[in-house]
C-alpha cells in the first residue's frame, strides 16, 4: 500500500531540492530519515519533515509497520514563482525570481 505526504509552497528552488530527493528514492524509510537528518541542507530539513509525516500517516491511518516502509518516490514539483525587481544602473531593473516548490514523498510497504 502506498501512503503519501505533501509539503506545498516550500520556500526553496526546485533544482536544489531535487538533489536531496534523488538520494532518498528506493531506501528504507528509517535509513532515509537518518541520512536526511545528518545532511546540512535546507532541502534535507524540509524532506525530513515530509518523510516523517508520510511515515506517521502510514502508521496511524493504515496500520503499517514503519520498519517495512520504503521510500517509493520523492518528487519535487514547481510551485508559483514570486517575482521581484531590484534597481540597477542607468534606471534599469533586474528581475529576481523567488522560487517555491511542492515536495511529495510516497512510502510503500511493497518493494
> What's the length of the chain?
111
Say which CATH number the domain at 6 has: 3.90.470.10
Residues of the domain holding 52: 2-108
Helical spans, DSSP H, in the chain: 14-24, 29-38, 42-62
pLDDT tens for 73-105 read 999 999 999 999 999 999 999 999 999 999 999
- Side by side, the strands of the sheet bearing 2-10 are 2-10, 101-108, 70-78
pTM to 2 decimals?
A: 0.90
Q: How many domains does the chain have?
A: 1
**Cell triple for 47:** 524532506
Residue 110: what pLDDT? 83
Residue ranges in the chain whose pLDDT is less than 50:
none
Amino acid at each position: 500500500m502506498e501512503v503519501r505526504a505533501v509539503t506545498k509552497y516550500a520556500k526553496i528552488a526546485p533544482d536544489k531540492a531535487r538533489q536531496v530527493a534523488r538520494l532518498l528514492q528506493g531506501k528504507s524509510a528509517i535509513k532515509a530519515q537518518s541520512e536526511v537528518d545528518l545532511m546540512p541542507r535546507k532541502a534535507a530539513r524540509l524532506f525530513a519533515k515530509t518523510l516523517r509525516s508520510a511515515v506517521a500517516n502510514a502508521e496511524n491511518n493504515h496500520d503499517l509497520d514503519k520498519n517495512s516502509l520504503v521510500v517509493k518516490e520523492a518528487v519535487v514539483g514547481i510551485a508559483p514563482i514570486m517575482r521581484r525587481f531590484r534597481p540597477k544602473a542607468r534606471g534599469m531593473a533586474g528581475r529576481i525570481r523567488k522560487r517555491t516548490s511542492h515536495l511529495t514523498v510516497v512510502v510503500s510497504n511493497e518493494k
